[in-house]
Amino acid sequence: MYTKDQTIGLQASTKEFIQNPHNINIIQLRKLLKFHEYQYYVVAEPLISDYEYDLLYQYLKNLEIANPALIVHDSPTQRVGDSLNNSFETVAHLVPMLSLENSYNAEDLNDFHRKACEGALLNDITYCVEPKFDGASISLIYENDLLTSACTRGDGVAGEDITQNIKQIKSIPLSIPMKALGIQQMEIRGEVIMSKKSFDAFNEKLKENNIAPLANPRNAAAGSLRMKDPREVANRNLDAFIYHISYYTLLPGGVIPELLKTHSGSLELLWNMGFRSPQKEKKVISNIQGVIQFCNEFEVDRDSLPYEIDGLVIKINDFALQEKLGMTSHHPRWAIAYKFKARQATTILENIEFQVGRTGAVTPVAKLKAVAIGGVNVSSISMHNEEYIREKDLRLGDTVIIERAGDVIPQIVQSIPALRKGNEQIITFPTTCPVCDYALEKEETEAVWRCNNPLCSAQIVERIIHFVSKDAMDIKSFGDANIRKFYELGLLENIPQVYQLNFDTIGQLEGFGKKSVDNLKAAIEASKTQPLHRLIYALGIRFVGETTAKTIASHISHILDLESLTEDQLQAYDDVGVKVAKSIYQYFHEEKNIKLIKALEALDLNMIQTNATAVDGNLTGLNFLFTGTLTQLKRSDAEAMVEARGGHIVSGVSSKLNYLVVGEDAGSKLEKAKKIASIKIITEGDFIDLVKN
Ligand code: IVH
């Protein structure tokens, strides 16, 4: 971006200004600040101290306060908004934000290369390989040299306006020299990341304030972009890599810059404009064997980078060739992601805790010697049930291999018996409830031991936690810790009491100011009008998840209609099989449950189906199920797309299912569906096409 001579000149002017601050005009001062921001945030080679930077910044700020008419949009002082001015409005992307196809090994990469060669009618292809940044993707628009809009990926077609928050990221320039290159408008793509160092510091701060730490830098980056207050974002030390120009228009008489003929050239152009593109990290390689070797070598070194990456992206370098190959509806045919293998670590299984859930199920949880794996500290992993422990022959004191693949919850892969010293202990499952001492029971067909004591305090608390949770009654500001605290203090002993809390007493508890009490009160009140399906789900009826709750709600007008339905009638509903029907029937034939529902009705909770009119769309009458990891759509968005078009989501594979949409790493549902001829098995791309039509 800056030539050597420019750098020397700007540095000399800076020193001169610091010695004699009055001898400068506002334009020159902004130039200096912009230069030092670039050196610090993009090149990572600061040329002045933080103190000296602050001096320049403050001087500019004062000059602007004295002369407001001289303030310009791209002044370094204009990053920080001074109000909660995020709109998060939906903005359509100029070009859809597609995803990438994934590859995991040499064979996949050779396959990709073969198809590309066939499509391009060539024997060899030159690729550009760069890191796959593990953050939150963004799309930026610059017009006439200025940053005009920034948004999240959203559903790929439209995202949320986060311009104010993006302006807080100092490696994203507020203005760039486009006009000088003959470009009028440009839409670019990149990834906002939080470096490992900033993530650790951020989590440290959370811990100091008794707030649960975030799971990984990706979540931290994505969450930060959706903060209401841009000033908060400024405190989070975010960074951004820009790796793609998705669209541009030329000024009248402008010619396509030479660098815009290849991907590696475009990274250089972005770098020259002042962006942190992967200009130094990228590698141009002229054959697929070289690409495979580079991928293998890079994977070994992945942890040496100061930020998280989850793989590499391999892109055909020549833009004309990219154009020739084009895209499918969800990914370009000219690029592929090479995903790194799951990270593994070894640690010691030190202890075991038996936790009692809301249905009384007792889950063994391994307490491990804390170990960092993929940037996350792991010290606790579920061991699911007794069989799992026995099958893996896990013993207290064992050295175990644990694994974390991307977003996936950590798992114990195996123990290492060869490292046993002889004092490891076989894990014995308790015969009585670890909380209330009631004898545990196990049904023949189940792997789970249960405490069937209806008065078990652990279950009561877990049932209340489930009732208020996000997917159930969604009572915001009512966290698990508060529910446990209120229970221990005798302020909340059952679900109806959620609506009968004594706020005077709560207001006197430590940590409960007027504002938090008011928020809690309002959230509880608001939950009374939640739609019926949320209440059905919140009751925690066994085998009734969100989807089944929606199905049931769509067939009744009042919740107590369920008292009069037979198991056969229930089974006639999509998604309700023998087991589910039996469980619902039993629930509505137990006096204590009917009493609970009537108590909630007396407390004014909504009991009726308010939006029973079915949507008539192009998927009306069709049942869908998603399995595996979707790469372009969030699963909740995809499900909402089905429902918005009159389709229905079911939770299991049966002959009632019309479409199984298969993402990555699909497992048993796919296998089961293959055996039922009437089910159409489609990919995520097919699904998007289906929805569009
Ligand atoms: S190229 C059409 N390059 O990975 C071009 N994407 O799994 C598509 N990502 O949605 C994107 N680093 O958010 C590209 N160097 C990189 C990337 C990258 C991270 C993300 C991006 C994309 C996702 C696909």
Distance CA 689, CA 681 (A): 14
- Ligand 1 centroid vs 134 CA: distance in angstroms? 9
- Residue minimizing CA distance to atom 6 of ligand 1: 132
> What is the reported pLDDT for 81?
59
Q: Give the chain's count of helices (H) and strands (E).
A: 24, 24
> What is the reported pLDDT for 493?
95
Mutate which of 137, 302, 310 to test ligand 1's pocket (most atoms within 8 Å of Cβ)? 137
Residues having CB closer than 6 A to ligand 1 are 98-100, 130, 132-133, 137, 191, 243-244, 313, 332, 335, 337, 631
| Closest ligand 1 atom number to CA of residue 332 | 2
DSSP for 195-227?
-HHHHHHHHHHHHHTT-PPPS-HHHHHHHHHT-
Judged against a pLDDT cut of 80, whether residue 637 lies above it is answered with no
> What is the reported pLDDT for 612?
46
> What is the reported pLDDT for 155?
81
Kindly state the average pLDDT of the residues 223-246: 91
Judged against a pLDDT cut of 90, whether residue 239 lies above it is answered with yes
| Closest ligand 1 atom number to CA of residue 134 | 19
Kindly state the average pLDDT of the residues 207-221: 78
| Closest ligand 1 atom number to CA of residue 327 | 2
Distance CA 120, CA 228 (A): 47
Judged against a pLDDT cut of 60, whether residue 613 lies above it is answered with no
- Ligand 1 centroid vs 153 CA: distance in angstroms? 11
- The active-site residue out of 34, 132, 170, 656 is 132
Which pLDDT band holds residue 143 (cuts at 50, 70, 90)? very high
- Ligand 1 centroid vs 86 CA: distance in angstroms? 25
> What is the reported pLDDT for 303?
81
Kindly state the average pLDDT of the residues 556-567: 94
Which pairs with CB-CB distance under 8 Å and at least 24 residues apart come from 74-79? 74/145, 74/146, 74/147, 74/173, 74/174, 74/175, 75/30, 75/174, 76/30, 76/33, 76/34, 76/37, 76/174, 78/167, 78/174, 79/167, 79/168, 79/170, 79/174, 79/234
Please check whether residue 1 is in contact with residue 272, taking contact to mean a CB–CB distance below 8 angstroms: yes
Alpha carbon of residue 276 to chain centroid: 23
Angle between helices 26-37 and 50-66 (to 10 degrees): 150
Q: What is the pLDDT of residues 165-187, one digit of tens each?
A: 999 999 999 999 999 999 999 99
Please check whether residue 394 is in contact with residue 408, taking contact to mean a CB–CB distance below 8 angstroms: no
Which pairs with CB-CB distance under 8 Å and at least 24 residues apart come from 232-238? 233/165, 233/168, 233/169, 234/79, 234/80, 234/168, 236/194, 236/198, 236/202, 237/194, 237/195, 237/198, 237/201, 237/202, 238/168, 238/169, 238/192, 238/193, 238/194, 238/198
191 or 575, which is more confident: 191
Find tokens 């650790």 and name the residue: 200
Judged against a pLDDT cut of 70, whether residue 611 lies above it is answered with no
- Residue minimizing CA distance to atom 5 of ligand 1: 98
> What is the reported pLDDT for 454?
87
Judged against a pLDDT cut of 90, whether residue 435 lies above it is answered with yes
> What is the reported pLDDT for 600?
97
| Average confidence score pLDDT of the chain | 90
Percent residues over pLDDT 70 in the chain: 97
Q: What are phi and psi of 630, to 5 degrees?
A: -80, 145
CA dihedral sign, ordered 649, 655, 659, 665: positive
> What is the reported pLDDT for 485?
94
- Residue minimizing CA distance to atom 15 of ligand 1: 132
Which pLDDT band holds residue 19 (cuts at 50, 70, 90)? confident
Quote the Cα angle for 491-495-499, to 5°: 70
Q: What is the pLDDT of residues 375-422, one digit of tens each?
A: 678 999 999 999 999 999 999 999 999 998 655 678 999 999 999 999
Question: Active-site residue 132, yes or no?
Answer: yes
> What is the reported pLDDT for 116?
95
Q: Indicate the range of 9-23, 103-117, 596-610 predicted with least confidence.
A: 9-23
- Ligand 1 centroid vs 132 CA: distance in angstroms? 6
b/e map 534-559, b = 16+ CB within 10 Å: bbbbbbbbebbebbbbbbbbbbbeeb
CA dihedral sign, ordered 476, 480, 484, 487: positive
- Ligand 1 centroid vs 84 CA: distance in angstroms? 30
Three-class secondary structure of residue 508 per DSSP: coil
- Ligand 1 centroid vs 137 CA: distance in angstroms? 7
Q: What is the pLDDT of residues 639-648, one digit of tens each?
A: 878 887 878 8
How many other C-beta atoms can be found within 10 angstroms of the C-beta atom of residue 50? 9
> What is the reported pLDDT for 615?
58
> What is the reported pLDDT for 207?
76
Pure H helices in 528-667 = 532-538, 546-555, 567-571, 578-587, 591-602, 635-644
| Closest ligand 1 atom number to CA of residue 244 | 1
Please check whether residue 491 is in contact with residue 505, taking contact to mean a CB–CB distance below 8 angstroms: yes
Mutate which of 102, 127, 133, 157 to test ligand 1's pocket (most atoms within 8 Å of Cβ)? 133
Distance CA 262, CA 264 (A): 5
| Closest ligand 1 atom number to CA of residue 278 | 15
Q: What is the pLDDT of residues 461-475, one digit of tens each?
A: 999 999 999 889 999
CA dihedral sign, ordered 396, 400, 406, 408: negative
Q: What are phi and psi of 258, to 5 degrees?
A: -55, -40
Kindly state the average pLDDT of the residues 295-316: 92
